[in-house]
Structures are given as structure tokens and as C-alpha cells.
Amino acid sequence: MGVLKTAAFISLPILGICATVLYLLHKKEEDDLHETLQDVKTSRVKLIEMKIPNSVVGVVIGRGGSNIKDIQQKTETRINFKEEDDNEEYRTCYIRGTAESAQMAESMLHEIITTQPLIIVYETWVPEKAVGRIIGRNGENIRSISRASNTKINVDSVSSNKRGEPNEVRVVIKGTSEMIAVARSLIQEKVDEDAEVRRKMELCQSSRSPRNKPKSSVNSSLTNSPEKEKKTQMSESLIPTGSNKMMNIFVSAVESPFCFWVQVYGPRSVELDHLLDEMTEYYSVEENRILHEIKELEIGRIVAAPFSQDDKWYRAEIKTIEVNDCNENESQVDLYYVDYGDSDYRKKSDICQLRTDFLKLRFQAIECTLANVKPSGGEQWSEKATDVFEELCHVAQWKPLLAKVVSCDQQPRGRREGSPVPSVHLFDSSGPEDIDIGEELVKQGLAVREDSPQRSLSRASGASGASTPFLPSATSPEPSSDAESNT
């Protein structure tokens, strides 16, 4: 009996302990279940739709999506933009994640949007004649300005003047006020640069002396050769740019309306004048002439030579040689002046070797033919027709004309055999009315028309008038004075 009491006494505490353990285990299971349910409840995916202004979408996304990726990583969300959105002002953005993480991502996006500087659109007007230099060769200058100022710049291709002032083109700049100020400053630099170049060109033009009419041998041709082809590649080209296809030129020499030479009116004119001044100064010194004395004459060679009508030195090509057996220095050399297109005879003793650095500038004379006209009453141009043509073109008087290239003649009538010659329309826009030079020859009975496209020119379609010697457009960059065109 005593043993049973003792056993009962001992078993009671053990039962209590077991009950306590069971209670605690049950309680823990309930707590764990509650936490699990709470986690399930709070981990449900939430979708937030957000409108992002189009003006800041790029900034929100970041370069290569860097900003979006950073937000997704920090908030453990997924952010996507609606692929097609009809709204022009906003793009729809979707944020997926837990409620807390989605709201955090939304706040971060809002912060990016609100901290962005105000983007504005600014309009300014620039001289039409400076547009070419502002844009640059193949748009190089305008892209550089846009990158430097971090702005978007658009230059009107056609002058749509709404302010009543002539010869101006609108430029639209988009960016912050600080960025726009930088862009305006850089654009003004190009305008001032263009004005300075034009001032120098006008100064050089006024100081140029007229050259006499070239002699008849100007039309004699050389046979094709690799050396001749190389010299042709060194010549300047009459390459039209822009939609109006217009260029400003000087007519420097005339054989006939079928064969004449022009120079492009631009920065190259200034470079040529500087080159000739340098050559004249150098070869005027007797010691230098002795140093560059020519030992042996060679057809096709480029030499330095004076011109019979002035005291300057020029670049010239040897065309033919009449050897004097009694005195070689008295041999007559037929020279073609590669920068003007005219010719002259000089003694061997009068010409010198050309210093190689004097070849840095392309040969400026460009052979052309008058487009869509032919002689009246025969195959050859009459002397009167050529004289009238010279008068209309102001040959070698350095008066700018407008040239429009319509084609390239594959069978040139002049010196540049094997090289296409531009066929051009010429216009004199210096007077109250534009003069189509080919049409004027027809009116005077000196030429007849050939089949051609519309050749009329009016000031509304692009003629510049006397006060505007250039016709640049947003797609026709101003010729630059860099070394690219000289190589």
C-alpha cells in the first residue's frame, strides 16, 4: 500500500510537466502558423500604375536602363513601360512587387522626376548666310554644339521668316536655361566666325587685279596619263550641296560657252590669294629663283611661273615645249595656270621649280560647260557669242555669279580629258532682276536651246540678290578652310 502511494505521488509532477510541454509545443505551432499566414498575407504582389512625362522618360530609364535597374535592385521590384502608348504627353509605367517595395520604387521614381531641371524650348534667328558654317560639313558643327551644350538643336532648312526681317533662319534649341545659354554662345561664335571670313573674302576680292583674256591655246588637250590623272585629282571640284544645288563662283577664264573655267567663291579664295602673295614674295628673290632653277623641262610638270600681265607668281602646268636648239633657256613653254584656267607662253629661264609646300591647296580652276544651249547656225561658237558670254560672265573681274550644276559631261571639250566636266547654268543676281546667262545668249540670237529641265531662277526660289553673295541652307554647309579639302 505504501508503494502505491509513493508511485502516485511521483507520477503527478511528471504528468504536469508533460502537460506543460504539450501546451508549449501547441502554442509554438499556433504562433508559427500565425506568422506564416501573416507573411502570406503581406507577400502578395502589388501592381502600381504610374504616368511618366515623356520629357523625362529617358532620364528615368537612364543610359542603357541603368536607373531602372538600380531601382529594381534596391526595392526588389520589377518595373516595365507600356510598349504602345497613345498619349503624347505621358508613358505608362508598371511597378510589381510587395506593397512596401512597390511604394518605395514609386517614391524613388517620383524623386527622379521632381528633381529634374525644367526643360524649355527656345527660338532664335540667325543670318541665312551663316547657316552653312553653323551646321558644318555633314552636320559636324551642329552636332558638336549640341553635345557641348547637352541640348537638342534644329535648324530650319528653309527660311520661314515670321518676323519680317529678310535673310534669316530660325533655330530651335531645347534644354534647360543654362544649357540653352551655352548653345546660344557657341552658335554666336559661328556667326561671328562666318562674318569675319566674309569680310576677308570681300577684302581679297576688292584687291584682286583683273586678268586679260586667255590666248587661244587654252583649248589644246593633253593625252591621258597616270600623271595627268593624278593632277586632275588635285583639282578643286564643283560639287553642289543642299536642295537648291546653287554655288557662288567667279568665271576666271573663257575659251567659249562650251569651255570655260570657274573658281568657287569661298574661303578657298582667301587661301589662294595668300598662297600667291607668299609665292610672289619668295620667287621675287633672285637667290631663291637660282635655287629652284629648272634643269630639264617635262610636259605635265607643275611649276612656278609669272604671268605676262602682272608681276605676280602663279602655279602652272607645262603643256607644250618649243625647244630652242641654239639657247635652251630661250625655249618657249606653253603654260596652263591651274588656279585660273588661262594660258601664257614663257621662256624656260622665266619659270622655276615649285616648292612642295605650295601644293598644299587644291588647284582652283574648274573647267565647266554651259548647260542646255548650243551655237546657233553651226557646231562652233562665233567670236561674237564668246565675247558676249565673257561680258555677261564678267570674266576675270571677280564678280560673283550663281552656278547650278545640272549634269557632268563625260566627254569634255576642253583640257581635262577623261574627267567629267560639270555642265552648269549661270545666273547673275547682282541687278534688280536675275539674268540667266544661257537664256540671254538665246535672246540675242547667239545660241539655241537644247532640251532641258526647268531652268528659271527667281529670288523666291533661292537667288540671293546683290546683298547676299552666298546661298547656304540647312543641308548645304559652308566650305571650311580645314585641311580636309586640300588632301
**Per mean pLDDT, which of 149-163, 231-245, 318-332 is the most reliable?**
318-332
Report residue 191 as a C-alpha cell: 556667326
Residue 459 binned pLDDT confidence (cut-offs 50, 70, 90): very low
- CA gyration radius, the chain: 40
Q: pTM value? A: 0.56
Where would I find the H helices in 85-130? 99-114
Q: With the C-alpha atoms ordered 113, 57, 172, 479, is the resulting torsion angle positive or negative? A: positive
Residue 468 binned pLDDT confidence (cut-offs 50, 70, 90): very low
CA-based end-to-end distance of the chain: 127
- Reference 307, options 255, 261, 342; nearest CA is 342
Provide mean pLDDT across the span 195-217.
63
Which one has a higher pLDDT value, 3 or 289?
289
Strand partners, 125: 170
Quick one: 418 exposed, middle or buried, by C-beta within 10 A (0-12, 13-18, 19+)? middle
Which one has a higher pLDDT value, 293 or 4?
293
pLDDT at position 309, please? 81
Contacts 24+ apart (CB under 8 A), 278-282: 278/358, 279/304, 279/312, 279/313, 279/314, 279/315, 279/358, 280/311, 280/312, 280/313, 282/313, 282/355
Average pLDDT, the chain: 78
Report residue 300 as a C-alpha cell: 605635265
Which one has a higher pLDDT value, 222 or 333?
333
| 3-class state of residue 465 by DSSP | coil
Question: Are 118 and 176 a contacting pair, CB within 8 Å?
Answer: yes
Stretch(es) of the chain classified as CATH 3.30.1370.10: 46-115, 120-158+166-206
Q: Tell me the CATH number of domain 120-158+166-206, given options 3.20.20.10, 3.90.180.10, 3.30.1370.10, 3.40.50.740.
A: 3.30.1370.10
pLDDT tens profile 389-432:
999 999 888 888 999 988 876 554 444 455 678 899 999 988 78
pLDDT tens profile 266-304:
888 888 989 999 999 999 999 999 999 999 899 999 999
pLDDT tens profile 245-264:
678 889 999 999 999 999 98
Provide mean pLDDT across the span 449-460.
52
pLDDT at position 481, please? 35
Alpha carbon distance 20, 18 (integer Å): 5
Question: Are 60 and 44 a contacting pair, CB within 8 Å?
Answer: no
pLDDT tens profile 81-92:
887 767 778 888
CATH of domain 269-359: 2.30.30.140
Provide mean pLDDT across the span 445-471.
51
Question: Are 447 and 374 a contacting pair, CB within 8 Å?
Answer: yes
Question: Are 43 and 98 a contacting pair, CB within 8 Å?
Answer: yes
- pLDDT greater than 50 at residue 196: yes
pLDDT at position 33, please? 52
Please give the CATH architecture assigned to the domain spanning 246-267+364-449. Beta Barrel (2.40)
pLDDT tens profile 219-231:
444 444 444 444 5
Question: Are 412 and 367 a contacting pair, CB within 8 Å?
Answer: yes
* Topology of the domain covering 46-115: Ribosomal Protein S8; Chain: A, domain 1 (3.30.1370)
Where would I find the H helices in 226-294? 226-233, 267-283, 286-291
Identity of the residue numbered 208: R
Which one has a higher pLDDT value, 340 or 244?
340
Identity of the residue numbered 42: T
pLDDT at position 133, please? 83
